[in-house]
Amino acid sequence: MAVDKARIEAAVAEILAAIGEDPARPGLETTPQRVAEAYAEFFSGLSQDPLAHFADSVPVGPLTGELVLVRDVAFRSVCEHHLLPFLGRAHVAYLPRERVVGLGRLPAVVDTLAARPQMQERLTEEIAEAIQAGLDPRGVLVVLDAVHGCVAARGPRQAASSTVTLATRGAFDDPVARAEIMALIGSGAPAAAPVGSPA
């Protein structure tokens, strides 16, 4: 189901009136429309199935590799408690069993699940569960590190703090295996430049 932009516009106009503003004044007259467009983008994941991103996974045989790790996937979501954004980085790892998927599909899963009213804790688990269901790997690990608008801009106003959440499945439930992947995530070593790229 698509986002109902007309209802959002009406609701935003009512909010503006409720705080004592004139929704028709210059500077605000297009605000309801702009918010509706933004909300359609922020919540586009409600009409998408994250498992669809695994439809073209590739069978490669048993125990195809040791690890697939995609670090520093930028994401944006909206906290369901205050409808304020939270922004951060996702780190996604899995141990293939018999299937792998294009590397761009992992950020797509993150984006789909983040584009909903969310809690970071649930989002972390949902990403891990989608990868587990979509690829049946031997292990999954997901780390999210995000700054929340509801913490940075209101209430505690802790603009420099971030929240880290972790979800694991299978082999990464083991603390030793998990520690090895966390060390790789934390190393922050830049990827090698493509062949032919300027130094």
Alpha-carbon distance of 123 to 164, in angstroms, equals: 12
| 41, 80, 121, 180: the active-site residue | 80
The verdict on whether 132 is a catalytic residue reads: no
Cα–Cα distance, 16 to 13 (Å, whole number): 5
- Is 41 in the active site? no
Round to whole Å and give the CA distance between 76 and 17. 29
Catalytic choice (53, 120, 125, 126)? 120
Residue that is written with structure tokens 């899963």 in the block: 109
Choosing from 37, 48, 82, 98, the catalytic residue is 82
Question: Which of the following is catalytic: 14, 29, 41, 81?
Answer: 81
Q: Is 118 a catalytic residue?
A: no
Among candidate residues 9, 53, 118, 148, the one labeled active-site is 148
Per the CB < 8 A criterion, the answer to whether 110 and 73 are in contact is yes
Closest CA to 97 of 66, 55, 53: 66
* 81 is annotated as an active-site residue: yes
The token pair at 14 is 């009512």
Residue 91 a catalytic site member: no
- Choosing from 9, 79, 118, 125, the catalytic residue is 79
Active site residue 66: no
Q: State yes or no: is 82 an active-site residue.
A: yes
Distance between CA atoms of residues 5 and 39, nearest Å: 8
Catalytic residues: 79-82, 120, 148, 150
